[in-house]
Amino acid sequence: MFQHWGKGLAFLIIASLLLAVGLQFSFNTIAPHVKVELDYGSFIGKTQPILGLERFYGIPFAEPPVGELRFANPIKPTKTYFNRDATERAPACPQQTFGGNTSSEPYQSWLNGKKLNPLGHIKAFGPGQEDCLTLDITRPAGTTNSSRLPVMFFIFPGGFNYGVSWQLTPKFLVKKSMDMGLPIIHVTANHRLNAFGFLGGKEVAEAGVGNLGLKDQRLTMEWIKTYISQFGGDPDKVTIYGESSGAISVSHHLMAHRGQHKNLFRAAICHSGTAIPIGKLSDGAGQQAFDHIAKFVQCETASDKLGCLRKAPFKKLLKAVEMFPGTFSFGAFPLTFSPVVDGEFVTGSIQNALKAGEFAKVPVITGDVLDEGTVLALGTLPLRTEEDLRSFISKKFRDPTPELIAKILEVWPSDPKLGSPLPQGTSMLSRRSINNIRQYSAM
């Protein structure tokens, strides 16, 4: 009897101890919240004790671009947010799929009916939603508004068609800065994409609403200048950096407003991207895409086509975007939706801006990343002949001189083994997909 009760008592004691330990572990690992007050609201973030970080997600930096603010320049928030939950990732802006329209005849005929979709298993970041202009902040735990830490603002990649503020986590970068004894605060933000952010056409030019995605990024920088000190950042020590289309964006910010950057940043870093030659709204850049979209959503005959587009159903507009090639499908380049010369924000070509000295006089780091061009080769196929290549160069570089085309053909050898060495990478993407894409890009 005693033995029976002893075993039962022992079981209860052990169970109680395990429960106590479990509860203690649970209490110790529940991330406490951290709160920051701004003049337009209060925002509650979370801590990550193991990494020693504090993170805020989905802080609005602009009024939602919906209704009459669709296809309009971004404005500062007018709403007040009380104890807004900033502990979970916010939705992305409306996305185009990675592949987009891969059903074009030349694309399919070159493949002899076979489907080339090496990135098909990679999903975009959800369909997204229009109320998306938010930013995320990562900082060392214990940072106060007197810390005055340097700030890095990252602009994500995605060919101006897709992407989201949280697609590349900054936690390891911030942790590394802490380990080095040089802590930073990191900011990422959503901006409008594809037709929602980079629609062209005369209607857009007349309304002064070109380059909305770039303007969203610029408003983020203004937000950082105004509010980052409340998070412990130094508004006078901001570095902007980006990768791929994010790097192209950074380059445009260096030239924007003829280089008048209003001390929004003190340095810039471009990973695999620069302000490539672009079309002018005044010359009709983007008009064909505008007309196709207007027709698709039945705004073709409207007296105010842009106003009609603002009232069009969101899902139908998003479906119209899918009519165009995605970044990783044939016909993607030149990109359908990308920055244009609007005469105000982007005032001219990068070449002319550099010659005229109309750029921000700040330190700049630039470089490449492995396989950046390899994956983008999917958007250039098929280039089967030298004439195909000449045609592609003419479109890519906006009517280059015959001498420039000849020079490119001279330095780019016809032997793929010489001109495209395709080194082996070590990333998961390389192991799973890149090797196949390398084969296509070398054809």
Task: Dump pLDDT digits (tens) for 29-50.
Answer: 455 899 999 999 999 999 999 9
Answer yes or no: is pLDDT of 2 > 60. Answer: no
Our CA dihedral for 257, 244, 279, 359, rounded to 10 degrees, sits at 30
Measured CA to CA, the distance from residue 424 to residue 431 in angstroms comes to: 9
Beta carbons of 173 and 140 less than 8 angstroms apart = no
440 φ, ψ (degrees, to nearest 5) = -65, -45
Measured CA to CA, the distance from residue 210 to residue 230 in angstroms comes to: 32
Q: Which of 177, 244, 245, 272 is catalytic?
A: 244
Degrees (nearest 5) of the Cα angle 314, 210, 330? 70
Answer yes or no: is pLDDT of 10 > 90. Answer: no
User: Of 89-98, 138-147, 206-215, 306-315, which gets the smallest average pLDDT?
Assistant: 89-98
Tell me what the mean pLDDT of segment 138-153 comes to: 98
Known catalytic residue: 109? no
More confident residue, 242 or 8: 242
Measured CA to CA, the distance from residue 196 to residue 72 in angstroms comes to: 9
Question: Residue 246: CB partners within 8 Å, gap ≥ 6?
Answer: 154, 155, 156, 157, 158, 163, 271, 273
Tell me what the mean pLDDT of segment 322-338 comes to: 80
User: Of 105-109, 245-249, 251-255, 421-425, which gets the smallest average pLDDT?
Assistant: 105-109
Q: Tally the C-alpha atoms within 13 A of residue 51's C-alpha that lie toward its C-beta.
A: 19
Say how many C-beta atoms besides its own lie within 10 A of residue 230's C-beta: 14
User: Of 136-140, 185-189, 405-409, which gets the smallest average pLDDT?
Assistant: 405-409
Measured CA to CA, the distance from residue 135 to residue 365 in angstroms comes to: 24
Structure confidence at residue 438 (pLDDT): 53
User: Of 82-91, 129-138, 332-341, 397-406, which gets the smallest average pLDDT?
Assistant: 397-406
Task: Please state whether the peptide bond connecting residue 334 to the residue before it is cis, i.e. omega within 30 degrees of 0.
Answer: yes
Name the band, by pLDDT with cuts 50, 70 and 90, for residue 109: very low
Tell me the C-alpha to C-alpha distance, in Å, between residue 31 and each of 36, 68, 250: 16, 40, 35
For the chain, what is the mean pLDDT? 84
User: Of 247-256, 311-320, 416-425, which gets the smallest average pLDDT?
Assistant: 416-425
Question: 402-411 and 386-396 helices cross at what angle (nearest 10)?
Answer: 120
Q: CA nearest 220: which of 242, 243, 250, 190? A: 190
Q: Structural domains in the chain?
A: 33-382 (3.40.50.1820), 386-426 (no CATH)
Structure confidence at residue 114 (pLDDT): 42
